Amino acid sequence: MKPACGKGSEMQATIVAAEPLAARAGLQILEQGGNAVDAAVTVGFALAVTFPEAGNIGGGGFLVGDVGRARGTDDGQPICLDFREKAPLKADRDLYVRAAEAGIEKASLLGHLAAAVPGSVAGLLDALDRWGSLPRSRVLAPAIGLASRGFPMTASRHRRLSSKGTRGQMTLFEETARIFYPDGEPVAAGEIFKQPDLARTLQRIADNGREGFYGGETADHILVEMKRGGGLIAIEDLESYRAVVREPVQFELNGVEVLTMPAPSSGGICLEQMLRILSRFPLEEFGAGSTDTIHLLAESMRRSFADRNHFLGDPDFVSIPTEKLLSEERIEAMAKSIDLKKSTPSSAITPAGATEKEETTHYSILDRHGNAVAVTTTLNGSFGSKVVVPGTGFLLNNEMDDFTARPGEPNLFGLVQGEANAVEPGKRPLSSMTPTVVIGSGGEVRGVLGTPGGPTIITNVLQVFLGLYRHNLSPEDAVSQPKVHHQSLPDHLYHEEGIAKETLMALKDRGHQLKRRGKIGDFQLISVAPGGAVRGVSDPRGGGTTATKVKIQRN
Ligand code: DON
């Protein structure tokens, strides 16, 4: 196949993100001559202002990309950066068991003990240093402007902040209440929401780099708040936090090459396992959304998640048998163990997880040279731990809940995990975030994929990939098709609405325990057709947008 684009021709610069102001901020950076990484850094900081449920400087994330092309003439190089939060050095494996015994039920989810050491600022600045081209002050300027000048409160955020559950938890913390409920109520839809403290924190980062967050005034504020609220993050944690460059999970399948996230995300390993299991079955013949296809999806998902929950954790702490998990023998055995007509029960049934609203966010970027960046970032739950550090304007994550916080018990996402993901000082909790870039056989970018959704992230990326590269769906249909999800435990086949009744009955007959659930994910896809046409699709399930450059400005 001839490279359709990338080499010698310019591409339609495109950003797809869950929040329009942040997407446009990134596009401006591309229009000013910034590259995909510059734009990713801008979108990341802007989302911390405009999408406080999940956009963050108090959380963490992952970046996968294929960059380094200049003026459409070169091949890209895979890049992969881990800026996942870390457990504080004072944390230990029984932290949340003790908290539960002391009557604090939600310690890994709500309040100061839930917060792991934030990684986003280190990660975004590190990405800029390594692969960006613009100065820090330029890429941070849009976020600072949005925080200080403010922007209109959306109706959906207003609704969310007004909901009983969110309000009840957010207002437990005085500073969070002061910012998000001035005069006791959320800022009305359409009114301007300003965040002056956050603007000053972002300015300190622009002025002083990582020291503007992990040292000086910002660090002082964090430490004071940790002491006041009984949290564990200490100065050593802040000073020692570093993002880590990782080798992406990389494999070829269906005529494309996939670059995706390795541990401490489970996304890459599971995605590869599931895709390779499914490559042994004629899905094209079965058709997208058919009983046979959904059955096979569920069976490959349940098998892969069993491995995930048992073997995977932070590779800096546990040894992951990656070679074994991805060996031909293993994939073959997993595929062979699937009964085409009957579901295999997962070994035990566990109660479903908590019902708290979850939130993460993903953005996909393609610059005009054909460089691609995929970033998924999170505070874990919606608005994280709900703790705003006084004086800084930012929310801390509740990522500690992604660990096996209490052995044998399901976490926020109903995941029952093992020893490999136990809490240890300085360890990163296992993630499911799966930012993914797909490369065509000519070296050109064909897809930039990702979504929020906890464990459904992996299975959602799987289904969009299959939609695009096996079922030949349009990018819009690949994203909007009804999604299913299985995570081994609990032994449920979750599904969105929209699957035909007869299909659901046939799946039930094969032994699947069906569970209808609400919207799965908020996919942000860029798809590049073999002819070079670029399509951005922001999931109709969310409120995001595609920002794309109409006019090409040359440097
Ligand atoms: O890293 C993870 O897998 C989770 N903390 C992601 C949380 C998430 O996607 C919530 N969003 N809907």
Cβ of 61 less than 6 Å from ligand 1: no
Which residues, including other chains, have CB under 8 Å from residue 16's CB and lie 6 or more apart? 23, 363, 364, 365, 448, 524, 525, 526, 536, 537, 538, 544, 545, 546, 547
Edge-to-edge order in the sheet of strand 514-516: 484-485, 493-495, 514-516
Shared domain check, 230 and 143: yes
Prior bond of 264 cis (ω within 30°)? yes
Structure tokens at 218: 């910002």
What is the structure's pLDDT at 5? 45
Determine which one of 360, 377, 434, 503 is catalytic: 360
- Residue 528 belongs to some domain of the structure: yes
DSSP string, 382-441: TTTTSPBPTTT--BPP-GGGGSB-STTS--TT-----GGGB--TTPPPPB----EEEE-T
404 CA → ligand 1 middle, Å:
15
Of 4, 524, 521, residue with least CA distance to 256: 4
Structure tokens at 209: 């780099």
Shared domain check, 218 and 260: no
Angle between helix axes 36-50 and 196-208 (nearest 10 degrees) is: 150
Cα–Cα dist 326/206, whole Å: 42
Shared domain check, 255 and 111: no
Cα–Cα dist 378/82, whole Å: 13
Burial of 434 (0-12, 13-18, 19+ CB in 10 A): buried
Cβ of 432 less than 6 Å from ligand 1: yes
Question: Which of left, alpha, beta for 47 (phi over 0: left; psi -120 to 50: alpha)?
Answer: alpha
Mutate to test the pocket of ligand 1, among 432, 460, 487, 520 (most ligand atoms within 8 A of CB): 432
Closest Cα to atom 8 of ligand 1: 454
Q: Which atom of ligand 1 approaches the CA of 452 most closely?
A: 9
Shared domain check, 31 and 134: yes
Q: Provide the 3-class DSSP secondary structure of residue 337.
A: coil
Shared domain check, 459 and 337: yes
Q: How far is CA 548 from the centre of its chain?
A: 22
- Residue 226 belongs to some domain of the structure: yes
Is residue 433 a contact partner of residue 124, using CB atoms and an 8 Å limit? no
Q: Which atom of ligand 1 approaches the CA of 432 most closely?
A: 3
Predicted TM-score of the model (pTM):
0.95
Residues in the chain: 555
CA 420-232-357 angle, to 5 degrees, is 70
Cβ of 451 less than 6 Å from ligand 1: no
- Residue 551 belongs to some domain of the structure: no
- Residue 396 belongs to some domain of the structure: yes
Structure tokens at 185: 């109520």
What is the structure's pLDDT at 555? 37
Cβ of 433 less than 6 Å from ligand 1: yes
Cβ of 359 less than 6 Å from ligand 1: yes
What is the structure's pLDDT at 71? 65
Is residue 281 a contact partner of residue 332, using CB atoms and an 8 Å limit? no
Q: Provide the 3-class DSSP secondary structure of residue 496.
A: coil
- Residue 504 belongs to some domain of the structure: yes
DSSP for residue 186: P
Cα–Cα dist 283/472, whole Å: 11
b/e sequence 118-128, b meaning 16+ C-beta within 10 Å: bbbbbbbbbbb
Closest Cα to atom 11 of ligand 1: 359
Burial of 553 (0-12, 13-18, 19+ CB in 10 A): exposed
Shared domain check, 213 and 95: yes
420 CA → ligand 1 middle, Å:
19
What one-letter code names the amino acid at 438?
A: V
429 CA → ligand 1 middle, Å:
11
Whether 201 is a known active-site residue: answer no
Which residues, including other chains, have CB under 8 Å from residue 524's CB and lie 6 or more apart? 16, 17, 18, 362, 363, 364, 450, 451, 537, 538, 539, 544
- Residue 309 belongs to some domain of the structure: yes
Q: How many domains does the chain have?
A: 2
Mutate to test the pocket of ligand 1, among 266, 356, 399, 433 (most ligand atoms within 8 A of CB): 433
Mutate to test the pocket of ligand 1, among 270, 378, 385 (most ligand atoms within 8 A of CB): 378
Cα–Cα dist 118/265, whole Å: 16
Burial of 223 (0-12, 13-18, 19+ CB in 10 A): middle
Cα–Cα dist 268/254, whole Å: 17
Shared domain check, 487 and 444: yes
Shared domain check, 140 and 260: no
What is the structure's pLDDT at 356? 44
CA 241-244-249 angle, to 5 degrees, is 150
Is residue 6 a contact partner of residue 533, using CB atoms and an 8 Å limit? no
Shared domain check, 195 and 46: yes
Cα–Cα dist 158/341, whole Å: 47
Residues pairing with 537 in the sheet: 525
Task: Give me the residue label for tokens 């569970």.
Answer: 515
Shared domain check, 193 and 159: yes
Of 550, 544, 320, residue with least CA distance to 419: 320
Shared domain check, 456 and 332: yes
Looking up residue 516, the CATH number of its domain turns out to be 3.60.20.40
Of 489, 479, 431, 480, residue with least CA distance to 458: 431
Burial of 317 (0-12, 13-18, 19+ CB in 10 A): middle
Closest Cα to atom 1 of ligand 1: 431
Question: Which of left, alpha, beta for 535 (phi over 0: left; psi -120 to 50: alpha)?
Answer: beta
Mutate to test the pocket of ligand 1, among 160, 265, 360, 519 (most ligand atoms within 8 A of CB): 360
Of 515, 514, 521, residue with least CA distance to 459: 521
Note down the domain range covering 529: 249-350+434-542
User: Chunked in runs of 10, what are the mean pLDDT values of the chain (555 residues)?
Assistant: 51 97 98 97 98 98 96 82 98 95 94 98 98 98 98 96 97 98 96 98 98 98 98 98 98 96 98 98 98 98 94 96 94 94 70 48 97 98 97 98 91 91 97 98 96 98 98 98 96 97 98 97 97 96 92 41
Shared domain check, 254 and 220: no
- Residue 77 belongs to some domain of the structure: no
What is the structure's pLDDT at 354? 31
Q: Which atom of ligand 1 approaches the CA of 453 most closely?
A: 12
Task: Tell me the CA end-to-end span of the chain in Å, nearest whole number.
Answer: 31
Q: Which atom of ligand 1 approaches the CA of 521 most closely?
A: 12
Structure tokens at 296: 């096979």
- Residue 76 belongs to some domain of the structure: no
